[in-house]
A and B are shown apart, each in its own frame.
Chain A
Amino acid sequence: MIRTRTRITPYLLILPTLVVIGALLFWPMIQIGMLSAQQVGHRQLRGEPAQWVGTDNYTAVLESDLFWSSFMHTVLFAAVAVTLTMAVGTAVGLLLNQLRGRMSNFVAGGVMIAWATPPITAAIVFSWLFGSTGGLANWVLEALPDALVGGGWRDYNWFGSPFPTYVVLTVCVVWQSFPFVAVSVLAGLKSVPGELFEAAKVDGASAWRTFWRITFPLLRPIFLVLLVLSIIWDFKVFTQLFVMSGLANRDAYNLSLFAYAEAFGSMNAKLGLGSAIATVLTVILLVVTALYVRMMVRRGELA
């Protein structure tokens, strides 16, 4: 009696999560793939059965210029934002480790504020900071010597074309994501025995050298996990771009905005086409996730 109870207990315990995750995350993930081979528009939303169209959606997507510009934006943005997030986060993590007591808590607290800010507010606040009327960024740039930054900043519109939009987006996203890297690096540093750094100091190694020779190799597993997570997060950035640029600026789309715009953006909803774009995005992220899972297995996290 007791025997059978223990045998089914773990299954009973995971059952509720299995049902919720299965129904609301796993099944929809498979549905995206199915939808991407269907035509789902207004008629289907009214209850007519969906039409299977094979690879038509993918052909349409891959042939559109908009897909390729969205793809480029996604990849370039992720590359720049991830690099900056890792660099700034690591630098701040190292700094936090140097600070003592209250000072450390104080600065860490400030850094946390950026992390806690809801993406929607962050996007709106950065839209205001970089606004064309009354925006602080334009005022500062106008006040700086022209030799340094050029002139004509007063009414500069940051959200009129893709490049400056992505500059602001990068600043905003890096601002929100470096704290997680900083705090994780700090946590990792705390677990490294101090003697190693003492030894390097005695040997007269520079801070730069100490970092690459000692800190980086020791924290390598943490850096790898942070890198993968950052790539995944920055690849699918949506809310901030949606707020700053919106669905009307097709030139500035990234993949998630493009998918959303096709599915819900116009009066003529094309959920099948949107799903095809979403599938491309999901497959890319699943490849990155596979690397992540492999790393976790190697680190024994699944034991």
Chain B
Amino acid sequence: MKSRSRILVNATGLAVFAVTVFPVFWMVSTALKPNEEIFSTTPRPLPGDPTFRHFDFVLNGGIANTSFWSYLGNSLILALVTVVASGLLALLAAVALVRFRFKFRTTYLVMLLVVQMVPAEALVIPLFLDLKQLALLDNLAGLALVYIAFSLPFSIWMLRSFVAAVPRELEEAALIDGAGPVRAFFSVLLPLVTPGLIATSIFSFITAWNEFVFAFTFLDDQAKYTLPIMLQYFFGRSGNEWGPIMAASTLLTVPVILFFLLVQRRMVSGLTAGAVKG
């Protein structure tokens, strides 16, 4: 009886896995199929005659005559700048929130919660006008600023609980041993909150890497497009070329998924510590 219910639970688990992964599987499978198979009247799950033709097309300037690598470069730079800047700024704020009691602390926390909920789709209108005024429209630096701002509230919120988990005594011990506050920060606190910084980094990386609305609205020059914009542009222009479209989608998605799975366990602990402290 016991083992039968275990089999049932495991089978349900596998079914959930299969259904959930299916769209991604279908994306990759389509990307590897020759056109005859993609539009065949009897679709098959796996490519019968796998080909890298579509990937080749996408990677070698098939889209808008600009190399795929330049879009990848734009996306990567934006994501890295966002990760580093928001991680650093969020850590400073998290230390302030955990280690100090100060006036307006609660106000600051409430502000974080509120701005986190404001729809990007609404802010895109004023931000468009602001960046235009600052001559930062159609500019990756302007976009980076917006991404940093958008990933900050959640990063601070999450890092706060990681900093709180570091016993204060450890820092005090370092201070007593004659280390300055800066040294105590770098040699005691920083190593201990590294898991938290990693979990936070994933969130800000994904915020920047996946972002669509701002990049779509602010960027005009094709050379500055990020991957999602390139994908949308390509999809809009050649809506039925599913092979290359799925190949491009795969190239955009796989790095995020790998990144995600690589740090999956840390991620869950990050979530339980931050977003949903039970």
Interface set of A (CB-CB < 8 Å, partner B): 6, 9-11, 13-14, 16-18, 20-21, 23-29, 31-32, 35, 40, 45, 92, 95-96, 98-99, 103-122, 124-129, 131, 133-134, 136, 139, 175, 179, 183-184, 186-188, 190-191, 219, 221-222, 225-226, 232, 235-236, 238-239, 242-243, 256, 259-260, 263-264, 271, 274-275, 278-279, 281-282, 285-286, 288-289, 292-293, 296, 299, 301-302
Q: In the complex, what's the smallest C-beta–C-beta distance from B88 to chain A, in angstroms?
A: 9
Contact A20–B145 (Cβ < 8 Å): yes
Q: How far is the CA of A131 from the CA of B264 in the complex (A)?
A: 33
Given A17-B92, A35-B126, the answer on whether A113 and B260 have CB atoms closer than 8 Å is yes
- B residues in contact with A16, CB < 8 Å: 89, 92-93
Interface size class of B (residues with CB under 8 A): 35 or more
Contact B127–A238 (Cβ < 8 Å): no
Contact A187–B276 (Cβ < 8 Å): yes
- A residues in contact with B119, CB < 8 Å: 235-236, 238, 256, 278, 281-282, 285
- B residues in contact with A188, CB < 8 Å: 276, 278
- B residues in contact with A299, CB < 8 Å: 277
**Extra pairs beyond A96-B13, A238-B120, A281-B121 (11, CB < 8 Å):** A17-B90, A20-B152, A27-B126, A28-B127, A105-B265, A106-B17, A183-B271, A184-B275, A222-B276, A232-B117, A263-B124
Interface centre among B23, B109, B277 (most CB of A within 10 A): B23
- A residues in contact with B111, CB < 8 Å: 21, 26
Q: In the complex, what's the smallest C-beta–C-beta distance from A49 to chain B, in angstroms?
A: 13
Contact A113–B257 (Cβ < 8 Å): yes
- A residues in contact with B127, CB < 8 Å: 24, 28
Instruction: Give per-residue flags for B69-89: 1 if the beta carbon is below 8 A from chain A beta carbons, else 0.
Output: 000000000000000000001
Closest-by-CB residue of A relative to B30 is A128
Contact A125–B39 (Cβ < 8 Å): no
- A residues in contact with B275, CB < 8 Å: 184, 225
Q: In the complex, what's the smallest C-beta–C-beta distance from A29 to chain B, in angstroms?
A: 5
The reply on B95 being an interface residue by CB < 8 A is yes
Choose from A14, A175, A226 the contact partner of B92 (Cβ within 8 Å).
A14
Q: How far is the CA of A24 from the CA of B146 in the complex (A)?
A: 6
The reply on B150 being an interface residue by CB < 8 A is yes
- A residues in contact with B240, CB < 8 Å: 133
The reply on B253 being an interface residue by CB < 8 A is yes
- B residues in contact with A117, CB < 8 Å: 23-24, 253, 256-257
Given A20-B145, A113-B24, the answer on whether A187 and B123 have CB atoms closer than 8 Å is no
Choose from A29, A136, A222 the contact partner of B26 (Cβ within 8 Å).
A136
Interface centre among B95, B117, B121, B152 (most CB of A within 10 A): B121
- A residues in contact with B14, CB < 8 Å: 107
Q: In the complex, what's the smallest C-beta–C-beta distance from A103 to chain B, in angstroms?
A: 6
Contact A256–B148 (Cβ < 8 Å): no
Closest-by-CB residue of B relative to A118 is B210
- A residues in contact with B39, CB < 8 Å: 133-134
The reply on B110 being an interface residue by CB < 8 A is yes
Given A32-B126, A125-B27, A129-B23, the answer on whether A17 and B115 have CB atoms closer than 8 Å is no
- A residues in contact with B228, CB < 8 Å: 118, 120
Contact B20–A275 (Cβ < 8 Å): no
- B residues in contact with A264, CB < 8 Å: 128, 217
25 interchain pairs, CB-CB under 8 A: A14-B92, A21-B112, A21-B152, A28-B123, A29-B126, A32-B126, A92-B16, A95-B16, A99-B10, A103-B13, A111-B16, A113-B20, A113-B21, A114-B23, A116-B256, A119-B210, A120-B228, A121-B27, A136-B26, A175-B23, A191-B278, A236-B120, A271-B128, A286-B118, A302-B110
Choose from B95, B249, B271, B272 the contact partner of A125 (Cβ within 8 Å).
B249
Choose from A31, A278, A302 the contact partner of B130 (Cβ within 8 Å).
A31
Q: In the complex, what's the smallest C-beta–C-beta distance from B118 to chain A, in angstroms?
A: 5
The reply on B125 being an interface residue by CB < 8 A is yes
Q: How far is the CA of A104 from the CA of B51 in the complex (A)?
A: 34
Q: How far is the CA of A40 from the CA of B125 in the complex (A)?
A: 11
- A residues in contact with B153, CB < 8 Å: 21, 25
The reply on B12 being an interface residue by CB < 8 A is yes
The reply on B179 being an interface residue by CB < 8 A is no
Q: How far is the CA of A203 from the CA of B121 in the complex (A)?
A: 51
Closest-by-CB residue of A relative to B161 is A301
